[in-house]
Amino acid sequence: MDHFRAYPVARTIDVRMAVAAIQQQELFPEMSALQRSNVGTIISELGTNILKYASSGRILLRAIRSGTRRGVEVLAIDDGPGIPDIAQAMQDRYTTGNTLGLGLGAVQRLASEFQLRCPPHGGTHARAVCWMQDEEADSSGPAAPPVTKPAAPVTGS
């Protein structure tokens, strides 16, 4: 699958539909149950943020490959007001809403790669990639925790 599957997000049920899509084994047959759960959590957190802070947007999903690595890419895009201070928003327990303020940090910890940016014209663009472990790595014992890259604002559109 080299194209994105798009899930418009305007209601809670829309977020649930995007989460359910990652559970369909025919779409992502190589993912383990744990990986599906992690990606589902990422989709849920990012989709819920769209509903809370922007009213509507979209979640895009696709399978990706890089050499022998396989993974899933999740994009969450909205046209809301954006995040004034991305570094502050990434801190656990920081919130501008009535929440625990743990969502973006959780996404960053669950993803192999995570970027968050707010273009000058508004909106928020989040990109999370979850690389799957190779079967050989899985059989050799516990895997090392995924390496995460700090979210950094990207200027421009």
Q: At 97, is the pLDDT very low, low, confident or very high (cuts 50, 70, 90)?
A: low
Taking only the tens place, the pLDDT of each residue in 100-116 is 555 788 889 999 999 98
DSSP, residue by residue, 21-90: HHH-TTTSTT--HHHHHHHHHHHHHHHHHHHHHTS-EEEEEEEEEETTEEEEEEEEEE-S---S-HHHHT
Residue-level pLDDT at 81: 85
Statement: residue 154 has pLDDT above 80: no
Mean pLDDT in the chain?
79
* Residue of 4, 12, 89 lying closest to 56 (CA atoms): 12
Taking only the tens place, the pLDDT of each residue in 37-79 is 999 999 999 999 999 889 899 999 999 988 989 999 999 999 9
Statement: residue 157 has pLDDT above 90: no
Taking only the tens place, the pLDDT of each residue in 58-69 is 999 999 988 989
Statement: residue 153 has pLDDT above 60: no
